[in-house]
Structure 1
């Protein structure tokens, strides 16, 4: 009996368990998935919690119900990976593996910024990248009467790079509906030189920021948070005051990656961009937010990665060369407020494009263009997530690699 072990039962790990169980259902392979947490969260829903668009029950379920039959589920803390011995040390037992899939995700690390966890934390400074943070922020916004709202990104990479912008746009709509938008000054602060990581998308988003009277501060490399003066301070001494700070702290890989000596400075694992195999250990594969690949840390990306990784696990087991297939494909809805959203589609080498999605001629979704239909597509994704994505069911008409049919390029891939 050979052992395949999956570390992490979040989005990526659960999908891999569902993809692989039917294909390895034999007496030759034993599949085990390990996660210390009982609850599975629909993390894209954290964006909507602060604005009372989603309820708490809509973004969390018992994780075990999504693990397929005949997969061993262990709810314990992972202490360390020992790749030289093909072992994973848990809190009170050790697992041996022949193939290891690391899907331990990423988490916020507010302690990495001086003063962020200070007297104002959870009072006037909040995150929404955790369930608890999103709920606390919801409670704050319900009674907040206005002032300087600063939406701030500490550094890249982060989970769902568009979420901070979406929060800013939704905040604009939220305060308009409450009749206090004239009392709220919204500033979007980013370490990037523009609104987003991709220049084509930045054009569209800058327009929306201007239209909604949201100020933008770029190239802001935060050094500290001054709790006394209620200001964020960058390394050049620039200061931005706030009454309410909504921050996206540094995102880092799980601490077990650091303990195991497998990660970079942010605990993300060096991973082949196209095969998703660990660069250091051939029988270790990495998926989702745990990787260091230059793709968005988002659920859609993990979904596309899972399809390629499933094929490559099977090829590896049978002794064949791996597919150098994954192209960094991502498609993301960007909520822009007022029941509208943009949709972007891109990969490692291609900027977000104009055109139709998923069908070249008829869409019905439009790329890089606001629409009500895109907004409903964003909301529909929650059902798709719980009922298809986690269960390893392919989304109809959406290919793992980026399709160029019917697409219009502002920047052609070969020009980059």
Structure 2
């Protein structure tokens, strides 16, 4: 009997665990270790924020993995020994014959400190109740959504949130009293999707009366004066500030031998193999270079990588076919009125990613809903 270990209970980890279970002999054991005991699709937070559906309605408990023949350990991974394919956790040590690392990403400490001074972390699910309270109290002033640094998780999400909140405030009859703006340190709204998609998004924001401030990196936040000062010396006041911190590798990754010069795991971008034998890495804890940027830190890519990594790990142990990632992927871009545009293409293409934007429509919104339902049902029932 062989043991296989998956670190992380997000998209990449769950996809890898299920693929391992599907391909391995019944007697082999698959274990998932995750610090959280639940799973939800990231964009479900937007629906909660917009008031269209509570996040709880799209949340599943990871203990359901046991029903699929996958052992679940609710614990934090405190150290990784890639050479021996073993880890230390708050539930004790675990060793295996092969491992997929999918521990996600954390938030840059400097940005966390700035947010604690006078803002809300737009991506932090436990902050949603407080954000709702702040939105309900918002009757005038400025709502500022600020991308604080790069890379950050789910590139379209800040813009989706801004447009959905604009629609929420307009429906509440407050739009003429509440100004809305979004800032980003990048030169385009969505560099990873290319100039056409960025231009489309900027036009949508402008048409909704949203101020767009590109090449604006947050320098400081004054919670008493309710102002943000950017590194270019511009200052913006706010009544409510929703911030998106830059992503950083988890400390346990940074401290491991798996980390590359960047601090992230930098696996083979086709197979997701690391420098350690029978150890693969997928999802937000990795840094994957493309011709002009990095592969987006998004669930679609983590899911694809998880399946490929699991397949190749099984081949390492038992032989058989191997898979490679072709660079193709897509992201949903949700707009008010239950419309969704899709950004899709070859993110590995050279000399630049070959990515196209499909115009938004309601059929794509239904497809997005179905996509979430299929994942929840297939991963956790």
Q: Answer yes or no: same fold by TM over 0.5.
A: yes
Alpha-carbon distance change, 321 to 70 in structure 1, aligned in 2, over 3 angstroms: closer
Number of the residue aligned with 1:100: 99
* Equivalent position of 1:343 in the other structure: 342
Matches within 5 A, 1:15-414: 15-27=15-27, 29-109=28-108, 111-112=110-111, 115-118=114-117, 120=118, 125-197=119-191, 198-264=194-260, 267-278=263-274, 280-293=275-288, 294-318=294-318, 323=323, 325-346=324-345, 347-349=347-349, 350-353=353-356, 367=358, 369-388=359-378, 390=379
Q: Secondary structure at the match of 1:25?
A: coil
Unpaired runs of at least 5, structure 2: 289-293
Q: Higher relative contact order at CA 8 Å, sep ≥6: structure 1 or structure 2?
A: 2
CA RMSD across the alignment: 2.2
Please give the alpha-carbon distance, in whole angstroms, between the structure 2 residues aligned to 1:348 and 1:68. Answer: 37
Contact kept, 8 Å, 2:44 with 2:55, in 1: the verdict is no
1:30-68 CA deviation, whole Å, 9 max, x = no partner?
A: 322112322223322111212211113213221111455
- Change over 3 Å in CA distance of 1:149–1:202 after alignment to 2: same
Deviation at 1:165? 0.5
Query: What displacement does 1:261 show?
Result: 4.5
More off after superposition, 106-115 vs 265-274:
106-115
Q: Distance in 2 between matches of 1:273 and 1:97?
A: 24
Q: Using the alignment, how far apart are the partners of 1:370 and 1:320 within structure 2?
A: 42
Distance 1:20 1:151, change over 3 A: same
How far is 1:102 from its partner? 0.4
Alpha-carbon contact 2:8-2:103 (below 8 Å) kept: yes
Question: Alpha-carbon deviation of 1:384?
Answer: 2.0
Question: Which blocks of at least 5 consecutive residues in structure 1 are unaligned?
Answer: 355-366, 393-416
Kept after mapping to 2: 8 A contact 1:80/1:260: yes
Counterpart position of 2:3: 3
Question: For the residues of structure 1 that align with 2:313 and 2:214, how far apart are their CA atoms?
Answer: 42
C-alpha separation in 2, matches of 1:4 and 1:322 = 17
Compared CA separation, residues 309 and 174, structure 1 to 2 (3 A): same
**Whole-Å separation in 1 of the counterparts to 2:78 and 2:311:** 29
* Deviation for aligned residue 1:210: 1.7
